Amino acid sequence: MTAPRRILLVGNPNVGKSTLFNALTGLHQHTGNWPGKTVSQAQGTYRHRGQTYRLVDTPGTYSLLARSPDEEVTRDALCAADAAAVVVVCDATCLSRNLNLALQVMEIGLPTVVCVNLLDEARRRRIYPDLLRLEKQLGVPVVGTIAKKKRTLTRLRDTVARVCDTPPSVPSYIRYDTAIENAVAALRSHLPPRTVPTPRYVALRLLEGDDRYRDAVPARIVEDACKHLRQQGITEDGWRDRLVAGVIRRADTVSAGVVKQQPGHDPDRRIDRVLTGRLTAYPMMILLLLLLFYITIEGANAPSQWLTALFARGEQGLTALCRTLAVPDWLHGALVLGVYRVLAWVVAVMLPPMAIFFPLFTLLEDVGYLPRIAYNLDRPFRRCRACGKQALTMCMGFGCNAVGVTGCRIIDSPRERLLAILTNSLVPCNGRFPTLITLLTLFFVGTAGGWGAAALLTLFILLGIGATLGVTWLLSVTLLRGAPSAFTLELPSYRRPQVGQVLVRSVLDRTLFVLGRAAAVAAPAGLILWLTANITVAGTSLLQYGAAFLDPFARLMGLDGVILIAFILGFPANEIVVPIILMAYLATGTLTDISDLDALRQILVANGWTARTALCTVLFSLFHWPCSTTLLTIRKETGRWRWVAAAALIPTLLGIVTCMLVNALWV
């Protein structure tokens, strides 16, 4: 059997690579209309005319001069030079900018196919690229596609197959200043003809000071070439600028000759005047956030009750089965009242809001609004000496803080990436929403909920965003000093969302993935929880001992020992905090389901809860240590346990201090 041919899919961010990857392979890589969405490689296969092709979707990059970890992934994949072909995906609406990368890839010497995608968007904006002329100008095959329409991909498959069978010689049209070309020629003369990548590419990277190729040519030869450039009045920064300028100049020349654009009104500009306007940007962000939470709160109530009733019947069935099989009471309690009931709570409480929030959030991604949020928040983050891209990772944290931490790879500066990682949990993830919504509804807006609960939740989310900015600034002037780096963020065109695909993929890829991860840690947590509540010493359970031990400190925070130990035991899954509180108050030894909100409020009030207690609990729910999954993800991303400790300590100290201040100032 013939080995699969490896095809690299590369391109600028937000050109539809992941959509193209999904259409070709039949897989379901997450897509989003914002730069930095893909932060690692995805691989899949497809068959065409009896041959298998392994397609690799690489992170988006504007240049092979990599600055961030995700861009390095793409650069290293290309420089490995083991691909049968490279498909460079370009956006038909901004061809000149996209051709910069295409020309750099061609310079490596790999068999190249230029895929001009988003032709439908180009037509909507009255842009008409001449693909035949572009192919003649570049000297490599050019194919036009609309990635979300699979019927347009047949010619792309045929072209990739032809290029793999008979690899063409890839021409290099880029020529720089005479001084640079002489330096390149001098370095090339010391490289073997079959250098991987091509000798010309290696020579250019040596001039730029790329450490990966420092052993390819003796250091003395490289220094002589650089000295020659300095004698010509070209500094190190100067020749880097000229290298970039040479690529841009050629890309502009090619693009100008093949793109025709008819004058027409650009609807994106009208929308941006509202969504990114100086006076309207922040009010629109708050209104959208309010609407998002209102739909989530209102829509999640009924499904949550249905799931609770369903799992209750399941528990009755398991109990009956245990009695039939004469299962010991302790084993029935540990497995059914412990593990099963905790799992049921996590699913019933967590699934409905996630199944609503994630699709709505994904629709905002698909439309192209998330980059506008980063644009709007760039100035506040820069004042905090951070990067505006942190706004994107912060938004990802609303769904899951672990996902937000992984998304920090899109930030180029290591210092700013670490700032984003350490502060990501200051915005609540989906797992903390149930506690926030329940307590805000019970003590501040009444059981009717609705717009009042959504408004208060929005207010606390804004508090979390403010805390993110404040802590980021504090870290920037103390532990992680440094000036903010400049960054370029593309504002993509607004696109009509693929509603059906968004609904299916957000449920399968996000909701069920996060839910499965929560369930995996909730099961052992349920067992531990049952044991602490049922193992007694002198007639008192371990849970009650722990609550009594923590009570004096918790009182200083406006809480009590039961609330504080509930947060500690809820470390694996934040959704079980309120049930643990009820279990301790009622001394039932098992997780308790109180579906009647009025009855729930009466239980809490009977155990000393006031509006102050509820407010302090909400604040501590907003600011406390991240869950176990997030901390493990931070360890993986940073490679240091000290940063894991910092990520847990920072929000916890903020929560303790905030609660103590509220408790002391409450009149």
Task: List pLDDT tens digits, range 30-89.
Answer: 444 444 444 457 788 888 888 899 999 888 888 777 666 667 788 888 877 678 899 999
Q: So what's the pLDDT on residue 161?
A: 92
Cβ atoms 52, 45 nearer than 8 A: yes
Helices and strands (DSSP H and E) totals, the chain = 29, 10
Question: Collapsing DSSP states into helix, strand and coil, what is residue 229?
Answer: helix
Which pLDDT value is given to residue 649?
95
What distance lies between CA 289 and its chain's CA centroid? 18
86 three-state secondary structure? strand
At 311, the pLDDT band (50, 70, 90 cuts) reads confident
Give the mean model confidence (pLDDT) for residues 317-344: 85
Q: Which of 251-260, 328-337, 520-529, 646-655 has the highest mean pLDDT?
A: 646-655
Task: Look up residue 544 and give its amino acid.
Answer: Q
The predicted pLDDT at position 563 comes to 92
pLDDT at 239 over 70: no
* Candidate ranges 23-32, 187-196, 238-247, 649-658; pick with highest mean pLDDT: 649-658
Cis? peptide before 197, omega within 30° of 0: yes
Amino acid at 243: L
**Mean pLDDT, rounded, for 196-216:** 78
Does residue 432 surpass a pLDDT of 90? no
pLDDT, position 595: 57
Which value, to the nearest 10 degrees, does the dihedral of the CA atoms of residues 285, 291, 295, 297 take?
80
Window from 216-225, 573-582, 624-633 with minimum mean pLDDT: 573-582
pLDDT (average), residues 169-180? 70
Average pLDDT over residues 407-411: 81
pLDDT at 327 > cutoff 60: yes
Q: State the average pLDDT over residues 223-247.
A: 72
Chain-wide mean pLDDT for the chain?
A: 81
**What does the pLDDT average to over 265-278?**
80
Give the whole-angstrom CA distance, residue 343 versus residue 348. Answer: 8
Are the beta carbons of 590 and 533 closer than 8 angstroms? Answer: yes
Interatomic CA distance for residues 287 and 537, integer angstroms? 53
Residue in this structure with the two tokens 């290309």, named with its chain if needed: 78
Residue 1, pLDDT > 60, answer no
Residue 655 pLDDT grade (very low, low, confident, very high; cuts 50, 70, 90):
very high
What is the 8-class DSSP label of residue 335? I
pLDDT value of residue 34 = 40
pLDDT the model gives residue 486: 65
Of the pLDDT bands very low, low, confident and very high (cuts 50, 70, 90), residue 243 is low
Backbone angles phi, psi at 411, to 5 degrees: -85, 125
Highest mean pLDDT among 158-167, 328-337, 437-446, 550-559: 550-559
* Dist CA 232 CA 647 (whole Å): 51
* Highest mean pLDDT: which range of 33-47, 208-222, 539-553, 567-581: 539-553
Give dist(CA 342, CA 94) in Å, integer: 52
Task: Inform me whether the pLDDT recorded for 590 exceeds 70.
Answer: no
Q: Is the pLDDT assigned to residue 289 strictly greater than 70?
A: yes
> Averaged over 212-225, what is the pLDDT?
81
Contacts of 640 (CB under 8 A, 6+ apart): none
Is residue 439 exposed (0-12), middle (13-18) or buried (19+ Cβ within 10 Å)? buried
Q: Looking at residues 598-624, what average pLDDT do you find?
A: 89
In this prediction, residue 172 has a pLDDT band, given cuts at 50, 70 and 90, of low
Q: What is the pTM of this model?
A: 0.70
For the chain, the first-to-last Cα distance in angstroms comes to 79
Q: Render 389-419 in DSSP notation, one character per residue.
A: THHHHHHHHHH-HHHHHHHGGG--SHHHHHH
The pLDDT of residue 360: 81
What phi, psi does 53 have (nearest 5°)?
-120, 130
- Give whichever of 111-120, 217-226, 577-586, 645-654 has the largest mean pLDDT: 645-654
Least confident interval from 114-128, 222-236, 426-440, 486-500: 486-500
* DSSP per-residue string spanning 415-455: HHHHHHHHHGGGS--GGGHHHHHHHHIIIII-TT-THHHHH
Question: What pLDDT score was predicted for residue 35?
Answer: 45
Is pLDDT of 667 > 70? no
Which region among 148-152, 440-444, 447-451, 615-619 has the lowest average model confidence (pLDDT)? Answer: 447-451
**96/649: higher pLDDT:** 649
Closest CA to 11 of 81, 108, 109, 97: 97
- Amino acid 389: pLDDT: 82
Kindly state the average pLDDT of the residues 166-183: 73
Higher local confidence (pLDDT), 500 or 339: 339
What is the predicted pLDDT for the residue at 619?
95
User: Residue 624: exposed, middle, or buried by beta-carbon count in 10 A (0-12, 13-18, 19+)?
Assistant: buried
